[in-house]
Amino acid sequence: MAAILEFGPFRLDGDAGILFHGAEPTGLGQRAVLLLALLVRQAGVPVSKDALIEAAWPAQAVEDSNLTVQIAAVRRTLADISGEAHWIETLPRRGYRYIGPTVTTSDPDRAQATPQAPSLTLPDKPSIAVLPFTNLSGDEEQDYFADGMVDDIITGLSRINWLFVIARNSTFTYKGRAVDVKQVGRELGVRYVLEGSIRKTGATVRITGQLIDASTGMHVWAERYDRRSEDIFALQDDIALSVVGAIAPSLRRAEINRVKRKRPDSLDAYDQIGR
């Protein structure tokens, strides 16, 4: 079991593939976490591009641009949270070097950085978690598009006053991981989970989405969108609006049917959905 790496306000659990800020997961992707872990372990020492690529993409042939994208994600996450910009130094034609605060290690068995999450109680109103969409393009740069679209969907759903939406920081701890939707529902305390994928081929982007009842594993809604990708930001807005517009009535119908099956003694449950 790997030691927990602690530096500044951050704690990195290499086994879980999660970077924490205090007790909160940051949402940094797993490849970026692997790169950061290697740099932090070699604090103050240059790490070659080849070594970094082997750590994050073992036995794969990838371009340097993929490494650049992931290092940028590391820098952005560390800087946005800490307010400090100087964490990773670029060494031209050589690689990168960690230049941040002193690194300490701790025993994961004692630190218990990632304890088994207890099952949370479902809130009274309908609740949903939007998981990071899977990038099927084989192009690391499409991760930014997928993450941005998920952010827009979360924002749109959060405007529905009868719906409880889990925050991005909680759902992005599942990025890059194979998940069981029922387990996600228990861990986050939500009734519904939205998952999806993107695939870019030439100038066309295909986005799929599935809304799942986490208590039963049954699909409530599913759709596929094919769009041209000339304006990436307009495309994000278009898809996010379409998904939110389709999910809202599907959720409402699913909740009404669920409440009917429970045969409530009063109209309070129906009122909750109709507000």
Average pLDDT over residues 245-262: 72
User: What angle do the packed helices 142-158 and 232-262 form, to 10 degrees?
Assistant: 50
Find, among 192, 126, 190, the residue nearest to 162 by Cα. Answer: 126
State the average pLDDT for the chain: 82
The rounded Cα 54 to chain-centroid distance in angstroms is 23
pTM value is 0.53
Residues 228 and 245: beta-carbon distance below 8 Å: no
The pLDDT assigned to 149 comes to 86
Q: In this predicted model, what pLDDT tens digit does every residue of 186-227 receive, in sequence order?
A: 888 888 999 999 988 888 889 999 999 988 888 888 889 888
Question: CA-CA distance, 219 to 179, in Å (whole number)?
Answer: 16
pLDDT exceeds 60 at position 122: no
Where in the chain are the domains? 4-111, 127-274
| 150 vs 24, higher pLDDT | 150
Residues 127 and 251: beta-carbon distance below 8 Å: no
| 265 sits in which H/E element | none
CATH number of this structure's domain 127-274:
3.40.50.10610
pLDDT exceeds 90 at position 254: no
Question: CA-CA distance, 122 to 190, in Å (whole number)?
Answer: 6
Selection from 28-37, 239-248, 253-262 with the highest mean pLDDT = 28-37
| 46 vs 62, higher pLDDT | 46
The pLDDT assigned to 121 comes to 52
CATH number of this structure's domain 4-111:
1.10.10.10
Model confidence at 38, pLDDT cuts 50, 70, 90, reads very high
Average pLDDT over residues 102-115: 62
Among the residue ranges 16-20, 97-101, 126-130, 265-269, the one predicted with the least confidence is 265-269
Among the residue ranges 107-111, 126-130, 156-160, 172-176, the one predicted with the least confidence is 107-111
Q: In this predicted model, what pLDDT tens digit does every residue of 63-101 receive, in sequence order?
A: 888 899 999 999 999 999 988 888 999 998 889 999 998
